[in-house]
Structure 1
Amino acid sequence: MRVGFLVNPYAGSGGRIGLKGSDGIRLLNPEIPGRVYRFLSRAPDVEYLVPRGKMGEEYVKLRKRYTLLNSGRDDSTRQDTLIAVEEMKEKGVDIITFVGGDGTARDVAEVAGSLPILGVPAGVKMHSGVFATTPESAGTLLTLFVQGKARVVKAEVLDLDEEEYRKGRYVVKLFHVANTISFANLLTPSKEEYNYSDEIDSIAYFFLEKIMKDDVTYIMGPGATVKRIEQILGLSPNFLSIDIIKGKKVVKYNANYEDLKSLTGELKLVLTPIGGQGFVIGRGNQELGPEVLRRVGREDLILVSSRAKVNKLDCLRFDTGEPSLDLKFSGVYRVIVGYDEYVAISTCSIT
């Protein structure tokens, strides 16, 4: 078994600073090494074919058996990814694993052809269906593939127009249908979109009339259901941003990680799970970084969702950036689906 492995060191760099993506942002993401090592801690002992420098070599040289490719450089671009995947194919790899987000998945799938690909989640959005739920899950999935236990399945590779996304307009396109590998719930489904009915109004009014308190600071996550609460308050939110509200007034629109870390007093998070995937934290809301999440408990998460969306989820998922925090937020949640109506749903088992 020969495994192609590459890293996009810029993936996810726009998440904590509230830019909703990394396209056009040439900032190295300091969280990439941690995600790579979490993956490698579970990955099998096989031969890895890796590009040079920060695209792969830097991470495996003391941890795995590897063959160095001719491609790869620290200041990598999309073209370097395409060249590396082409070289992996020429060398006869059995699967290509990569660390990145939807943009990286799109580049890898463009060249991979029928080869299965597997993403280690490190981007901001990750709507595509080729990503494992966590870096550890990616390592476990790859191990199961080497053992002949994981099956090859088809999955969508999706990507957003990030310029439109940052303006609050959701424009998603299907670019490829790729082969990937799956076992149990280790692979994340593609994101699904739902048409919401008047039920989100009943959710919003219930929250405003029975839950919201004037002396509590509310961190309002992205998504139409959460933003409907803000609209009924007379605010004009971008439905993709994280906003801060206290006393039914906006403190800050489009808050980033630093803004949230500076908050004092009692905090509550108002969030909605991603349709089809079930992610509550870790997809599209990376502004909620570890220092913020350590200040709140499970009881401080207020989850809202249309009944149709939550009924199609098998479980809720958390990818906070720290495994200990993922464990902290595991358990059963009551999701508000109407006026004083709830649906109970548990988090996925952590692998």
Structure 2
Amino acid sequence: MHKIGFLVNPVAGSGGKIGHKGSDDLAINNPDTPQKVARFLKLAPKDNIKYITPKGIMGEIYFDNSFNVKLIDVKNIERTTREDTIIASKTFLELNCDIIVFAGGDGTARDIYSVVGNKIPLLGIPTGVKMHSGVFANTPEAAAILLLKYINNEASIIDAEILDIDEDEYRKGRYNVKLYGIAKTVSYLNYLTPSKEEIKSNEEELDAIADYFIDTILKDNEYYVFGSGSTVKYILKKLGYETNFLSIDVTYGRKLLISSANYYDLLNLTGELNLVLTPIGKQGFLLGRGNQEIGPEVIRKIKKDKIIIISTKSKLKTIDCLRIDTGDSELDKKLQGVYKVIVGYGEYVAIKTCDNTSVVDNDNT
């Protein structure tokens, strides 16, 4: 009988759509988390497995009678804090759990790691805003596949960095990442997301990309939603605007309409929409990490050929494929394929998306 420690941080990711760039100082639950946990549990293995999980909203409410579940006590079962994560993690350790699966972000990973260290492998279902650490699966479905492969002894146990940032500095556009330790996690094919890596961009490359975009792509009568990242913000800088490199910004042609837009600002846009994105260094994420403001209903308003991807060549060398996790698995499938990435003035490189929407080839056994 495998014992799986299972924990949900209901607050993680609650700042994403509102453009808060973190959730550490918020006391509201993320409305998207139940759906993501359900996506994981739909494919999660059940046979010869006991899930050990806290009472209430940190685990109990997500399971039906088809799972073998043991409930544990935490301090709060209605409005949780990091103290509850720590209490649960201590219990997982005491009960000799084989692995801890958690839904959350970097803060949750930090809290669990502070208790268990590298004694138990950690596997994250991505529900946070910032997920720089290397213990997160690409999607909830990928987390289920990784757990299954671990149970069947088909996955590798590897070292992974536990990273986090200062959210106050992050919201001011200052990117300070700290290493908190090296955890154990589960790896199989490309279902696990690598740790985020900051890539120093060559200014000549950025100039060429921005000039090409402004000279040949930018139209005066269309909206442009500019994602986060210094590569994208270099275009806005060329247009005369200094914006936070973590924000989502909107222009109408060359005119800046909204700086630091949130999900609801974007939903209200009408007319022809273009989306300008750059992948995250080493992780390769286009959507779903650090730009949750661009949610599924916004993306559905944008034609696939209106998604414009830019990257420096040095960053692209660190990426094996493009990752997409919009929060809607059906939309993720529609966005799969090969994309042309602008890497210079009139220069493109073709890169495919990761196959992170595979269905487990069994019936949850």
What TM-score, normalized by structure 1, do the two folds share?
A: 0.99
The corresponding residue for 2:136 is 131
Pick aligned residue for 1:57 from 50, 55, 60: 60
Alpha-carbon separation, structure 2, partners of 1:314 and 1:160: 25
The corresponding residue for 1:106 is 110
Q: How does 1:55-94 map to 2 (within 5 A)?
A: 55-71=58-74, 73-94=77-98
Pick aligned residue for 1:307 from 307, 310, 313: 313
The corresponding residue for 2:38 is 37
Which moved further from structure 2: 205-214 or 66-75? Answer: 66-75
Which moved further from structure 2: 72-81 or 159-168? Answer: 72-81
Query: 2:13 matched to 1:7?
Result: no
Alpha-carbon separation, structure 2, partners of 1:299 and 1:318: 16
Query: 2:32 matched to 1:27?
Result: no
1:133 CA displacement: 0.4
Instruction: Report the residue type matching 2:86 in the other structure.
Output: L
1:298 CA displacement: 1.7
Pick aligned residue for 2:194 from 173, 189, 206: 189
The corresponding residue for 1:320 is 326
Stretches of structure 1 that go unaligned for 5 or more consecutive residues are none
Contact 2:51-2:67 within 8 A present in 1 as well:
yes
SS in 1 for 2:208: helix
Alpha-carbon separation, structure 2, partners of 1:256 and 1:116: 35
1:191 CA displacement: 0.5
Alpha-carbon separation, structure 2, partners of 1:119 and 1:73: 21
Equivalenced residue count is: 351
**Where has structure 1 moved over 2 Å in runs of 4 or more?**
none
What TM-score, normalized by structure 2, do the two folds share?
A: 0.95
Query: 2:51 matched to 1:48?
Result: yes
Q: CA RMSD in A?
A: 0.9
Contact 1:101-1:121 within 8 A present in 2 as well:
yes
Contact 1:191-1:275 within 8 A present in 2 as well:
yes
1:37 CA displacement: 0.6
Stretches of structure 2 that go unaligned for 5 or more consecutive residues are 359-365
Calculate percent identity across the aligned residue pairs.
53
Instruction: Report the residue type matching 1:214 in the other structure.
Output: D
SS in 1 for 2:219: coil
Query: 2:225 matched to 1:219?
Result: yes
The corresponding residue for 1:288 is 294
